[in-house]
Amino acid sequence: MSTSPALAPSVDATARARDLLGVTRLSDSALTSWLHSLPGVDQVGCEARAASLGTRSIKTTSKAWAIDLAISMIDLTTLEGADTPGKVRGLCAKALTPDPTDPATPRPAAVCVYGDLAAVAKKALGSSGVNVAAVATAFPSGRALMPVKLADTEDAVQAGADEIDMVIDRGAFLSGDYLTVFREIAQVAQACVRPEGSRARLKVIMETGELVTYDNVRRASWLSMLAGADFIKTSTGKVSPAATLPVTLVMLEAVRDWRDATGEMVGVKPAGGIRTSKDAVKFLVAVSEVAGDDWLDPYWFRFGASSLLNDLLLQRQKLATGAYSGADYVTDDSPSLY
């Protein structure tokens, strides 16, 4: 696993976009022309390739490595209206000690909570290295005025969030108002900067289940990266379908091509509906085959999940002992799309 690079400073997204698009003024028409010039996605080919990648066989040694890697990539998540400080502290305790019987078990990358509980998570996780990710910008709908979205983000950052998971305005995107989406992402990215100059990493949630087409997923991916996303993320976990392998494949192609075009790496986070070790391994195979092994690192790839960790722990224990543990081997987390 590679060492995480230093977090790049915030950029002037508008100036960079003008340079990349070759225009003197960033406008809706310029963004529309650029985004619609991207190659279209072959739906049949994309789904066939995803199905093929999903059939790859992973042997015992590689499987053990993949399970540990997948655990280290999880954003352990609770995003329910009934969340309490106690529940968040319990989730943090699980992140710190995923398997009390095996201290060698990797820790998840982050704990993901609502912004008003970010301070609770930060205190519980301390200096463990497990990050606090907070959802913001009127998650999950994104239906709020921009000052509210920015305040939501700033509050979470001030509370100690290491990462911000924002949602785009899907209505604006689907109506072709790309400039509004760009500006909102760019402004939220600036709101992630702390007074001393450090910043939280920004994950941009596209809610791919509402984007309808793979072409829209590709365009939203490129628009998000252009505006300053550190990660592009499939879903809130509140809309079905959430993370699918074909959609993630399109996003992996986008970050690969973005690096070819700009030299910059951007992460990918499928979230929602990934519950089993078998599912996680399929996604890891896709990462390696489509984007490349540089993305096989929790700094660049995450799973947004809650129940996935339990299945990975059970599979890990089976590989170690040759037998499945009982249902009480892992904690019973609250059910959700995550």
Q: Nearest Cα to 255, choosing from 224, 215, 279?
A: 224
Q: Nearest Cα to 167, choosing from 243, 215, 232?
A: 232
Rounded CA separation 154/146 (Å): 12
Residue 63 a catalytic site member: no
**Catalytic site residue from 269, 282, 297, 311:** 269
Q: Nearest Cα to 250, choosing from 31, 52, 46?
A: 46
Task: Concatenate the DSSP letters of all residues of 251-283 into one string.
Answer: HHHHHHHHHHHHS---EEE-BSS--SHHHHHHH
Helix H segments across the chain? Answer: 13-21, 28-35, 43-53, 60-72, 85-96, 118-125, 146-158, 170-174, 178-191, 214-227, 245-262, 277-286, 308-321
**Catalytic site residue from 75, 152, 162, 165:** 165
Residue 94 a catalytic site member: no
**Catalytic site residue from 233, 279, 282, 311:** 233
C-beta separation of 302 from 237 below 8 A = no
For residue 204 the two structure tokens come to: 């941009």
> Going by C-beta distance under 8 Å and a sequence separation of 6 or more, which residues neighbour residue 185?
13, 166, 168, 202, 204, 223, 224, 227, 228, 229
Residue 122 a catalytic site member: no
* Phi and psi at residue 189, to the nearest 5°: -60, -40
Catalytic residue positions, numbered: 165, 233, 269
